[in-house]
Structure 1
């Protein structure tokens, strides 16, 4: 599982530059949320109003469950209900019922073709998307009926904005070689971008505008649920039970998430990043939001805590390797992490000694809990993932200090590791209980795991496209953009266009790996899908919203952790 760092080519000694003696500064945007969430840190005691809310949620869930399991005149009604439940962020409450309903719809798939609605573009596209999301290998040839005699999509569907939007969303579940969906994506984007706003319904127009920017498959789930609650509220025919449940559930989870982040903020404050690591990014709130994208459900509190702490530590380590350390110091630091012994910190700069101790103490805490639960074997994988991570950091540091611009063939094996995807997945899996076995960790850390490699490609290339200009200004190892430009002698735009194609192909790899039967339990694959969506949100519009925390990420934090949904039901009953 070790990376072949020793095989990385470097210039000859005569070409080497001397180590940088002075410390560099990245001039990161300061944190916006310094102590804001400390006020939410508290014990687990509940108030009487929380009890009332829980009763309301329980009652409303019962009503929605009856809707899901009850008979409906047409399968299309059931599909629309499932879609709304999922998009409102409620699917985790009805997983069993949704599984059963979609399995039944899949079994009656051919009968569904014979119904009167088989030429309804919205219904067919929704059927396709929901079944593919669930892992059913439904054929994209289902859309051939919407083509004309020349094999092009018919002009008759151009005026069907809802249908075009549903087809557009379905296209993001495509596999490799599905030309029908490639054509459909181009067709829908072209016509959705040019819809006549004077004739379209305002709420539908808003949904189109948002979808073109952020398709369902590539969203940060909790953020998209919050946004869809607003869209759904504006629909004249919305279901009050669904809407009320969505708002109450969102606010209930928001309260839990605030408390979790408040307690994490206490831990972070004790680290005192401003004094101990002034060169590093202070991004605890943003990291927590990112991790909410991986698993937001209430039962995954332990996973969120482990993942947030792990990624906060990793962010400091990343900045030590990128910004702070000399090559000699970084080699000693890497050796210390390889040894995993507190005595190994002697001789390191003060800040490296501090983070080294924090790292080992954190792993000791995790190890204690894992041993208590009979899962001590997990700690080996967590340590191995960290060692692999810092080896990649060191390789990139050597490239920078030797002014070496690698070829893409040299760059990717290292850079796909340094992006930290496998480290994040290992951390998130640590708190997920017995579902995560030794075999799962072996699968996760294998270089041949298709879906994990695809996720690493998405993370690395989107990060490079969004952040390469800032990184080159501060002084940083060449990104894939610079490597591609140099190797193939193309412009920056040409390089980014090709890298974006590789990101699109990686998404198709992910879609294919969701097809049943899956290599590991679906609940684990959903963490990969969710992380891919979170990455898309973080690096949307070729902007690194994590580094530039004053941009869209401020809105993300405000939306998910500061402002609750307005709940008329709660006001009436409390």
Structure 2
């Protein structure tokens, strides 16, 4: 199937592009999608008051995520209608809500449109008149396509959308979902083999024998990497190496949270900063094997990058590990001494202790970016806001959850708790709303970094897409239920790795 531009009805072409991207196979049609959207961008006005809210919102969303310069001011044409006929247009409201997810900071019209559309859609789910739409609306509100792993969420919602066929579900959906199913069936054995290699590597280190309380979750660690690099099945080595780095983020977190005394943690942090095998002798016995494995693994990753891309990023990589340990040390001192931080101080440190910087810097070089040390430093600096926003989304989302990791029994801080302490008289509900707004603001900053330019190399664009995918994974990784389990994550792992259901199985 090759998407083409419909001259008679350009909107049909945009609906096709949307269907392709929702199916999770847009990476196969990058050139065709670029051609369609570039043609639409140059030939169609975006300030026309004759557009429907559905068409204006769909074109805005697709063009913005393509990197085209489109203004949110187009929605000013509909402000008068926000209280009028738009209320009766469910498909328009849904598309408007989806479009607002790509807002930049300062675009107040999109904040207003998101608030209006979400409230009205929630209201529709409670009205008999729209009962057949309820499941579909709830899914879209909870999992807007921009902030979700579309291959997973769209396939699981296939039957719901099928029930609405003729009410905005396009005719390409079924064949595209079947094509996505075939691609996943081809990819699954590759993912399974990669996971097997990760298991063998991790088991071979023997660290869980040394640290029995530490988390032993290779599937979870690999899922981060698999999802970040999901759009290129050929990147097996890259997914495996990134998983190794993520595994050590979790391991070091557990060493600080569950094992080390303040003095031992200070020695471990000093050793990581030295990055020298001779420093092993200064460590307690239970830390020695982990420290050596960290150096071995990271040095091997740097060597692989040098052999493949001609530059060795070891200095930058080891700096990220030192920064992580220093951030963990700061938290350990706070919690041990009872001298708790202010909310903003906690968040600044927490973005580092989240490990996002470690993972994304490793990913940056694993993908071949940063051809020389200076170029690498410059490009990393240019992407610092992107990395910071992903880290803030993860840290704040983690702190929103009332349950901690099912195997994590140590002490953790909470931005919500510290924000309430800094603002006496604030209710828990008000603090939660503040954090939710902060996460939304970080998403707008992330959008700005990813979509406001269109002149970067394909590799850097791919890197930014991977960063987006990691941010999209946050809602899966921290959606604990009352039993301290992650049912949505478990379903995702089954779908992608273990038991992906075909469309026919979903129907049955």
Same fold (TM over 0.5): yes
- SS of aligned partner of 1:158: helix
Pairing partner for 1:175 from 89, 95, 104: 104
The answer to which of 176-185 and 159-168 deviates more is 176-185
User: What is the match of residue 219 of structure 1?
Assistant: 148
User: What is the match of residue 389 of structure 1?
Assistant: 324
User: What is the match of residue 147 of structure 1?
Assistant: 79
Q: Tell me, yes or no, if the aligned pair for 1:87 and 1:228 is still in contact at 8 Å.
A: no
Pairing partner for 1:294 from 214, 228, 239: 228
Distance 1:249 1:234, change over 3 A: farther
The answer to which of 320-329 and 500-509 deviates more is 500-509
Matching of residues 42-441 of structure 1 within 5 Å = 64-65=1-2, 68-69=3-4, 71-110=6-45, 118-148=50-80, 153-195=82-124, 198-200=128-130, 202=132, 204-227=133-156, 229=158, 236=165, 238-239=171-172, 240-296=174-230, 297-434=232-369, 438=373, 441=376
d(CA) in 1 for partners of 2:436 and 2:48?
40
Distance 1:554 1:243, change over 3 A: closer
Pairing partner for 2:473 from 534, 552, 572: 534
The answer to which of 208-217 and 314-323 deviates more is 208-217
Q: Tell me, yes or no, if the aligned pair for 2:386 and 2:445 is still in contact at 8 Å.
A: yes
Distance 1:295 1:159, change over 3 A: same
Q: Tell me, yes or no, if the aligned pair for 1:222 and 1:293 is still in contact at 8 Å.
A: no
Q: Tell me, yes or no, if the aligned pair for 2:476 and 2:486 is still in contact at 8 Å.
A: no
Distance 1:437 1:142, change over 3 A: farther
Distance 1:499 1:250, change over 3 A: same
Q: Tell me, yes or no, if the aligned pair for 2:225 and 2:240 is still in contact at 8 Å.
A: no
Determine if the alignment matches structure 1 residue 516 to structure 2 residue 453. Answer: yes
Which entry has the higher C-alpha Rg, 1 or 2? 1
Determine if the alignment matches structure 1 residue 492 to structure 2 residue 405. Answer: no
The answer to which of 180-189 and 310-319 deviates more is 180-189
TM normalised by structure 2 equals 0.89
Paired residues in the alignment total: 493
d(CA) in 2 for partners of 1:136 and 1:242?
25
The answer to which of 443-452 and 217-226 deviates more is 443-452
Give deviations 1:377-413, integer Å, cap 9, x for gaps.
Answer: 2222211111111111111111122122011343233
Determine if the alignment matches structure 1 residue 555 to structure 2 residue 502. Answer: no
Displacement of 1:466 after TM fit? Answer: 1.7
Q: Tell me, yes or no, if the aligned pair for 1:408 and 1:484 is still in contact at 8 Å.
A: yes
TM normalised by structure 1 equals 0.79
- SS of aligned partner of 1:417: helix
Displacement of 1:70 after TM fit? Answer: 5.1
Give deviations 1:357-394, integer Å, cap 9, x for gaps.
Answer: 21122123213322222433222221111111111111
d(CA) in 2 for partners of 1:100 and 1:304?
30
Distance 1:534 1:107, change over 3 A: same
d(CA) in 1 for partners of 2:394 and 2:263?
29
Distance 1:385 1:163, change over 3 A: same
Q: Tell me, yes or no, if the aligned pair for 1:300 and 1:431 is still in contact at 8 Å.
A: no
Report 1 or 2 for greater relative contact order, CA contacts < 8 Å, sequence distance ≥ 6. 1
Give deviations 1:498-522, integer Å, cap 9, x for gaps.
Answer: 2222111111111222202567732
Displacement of 1:94 after TM fit? Answer: 0.9
Q: Tell me, yes or no, if the aligned pair for 1:408 and 1:483 is still in contact at 8 Å.
A: yes
Q: Tell me, yes or no, if the aligned pair for 2:302 and 2:312 is still in contact at 8 Å.
A: no
Q: Give the superposed CA RMSD.
A: 2.9
d(CA) in 1 for partners of 2:438 and 2:371?
30
Q: Tell me, yes or no, if the aligned pair for 1:468 and 1:479 is still in contact at 8 Å.
A: no
Q: Tell me, yes or no, if the aligned pair for 2:420 and 2:427 is still in contact at 8 Å.
A: yes
d(CA) in 1 for partners of 2:270 and 2:481?
31
Distance 1:211 1:374, change over 3 A: closer
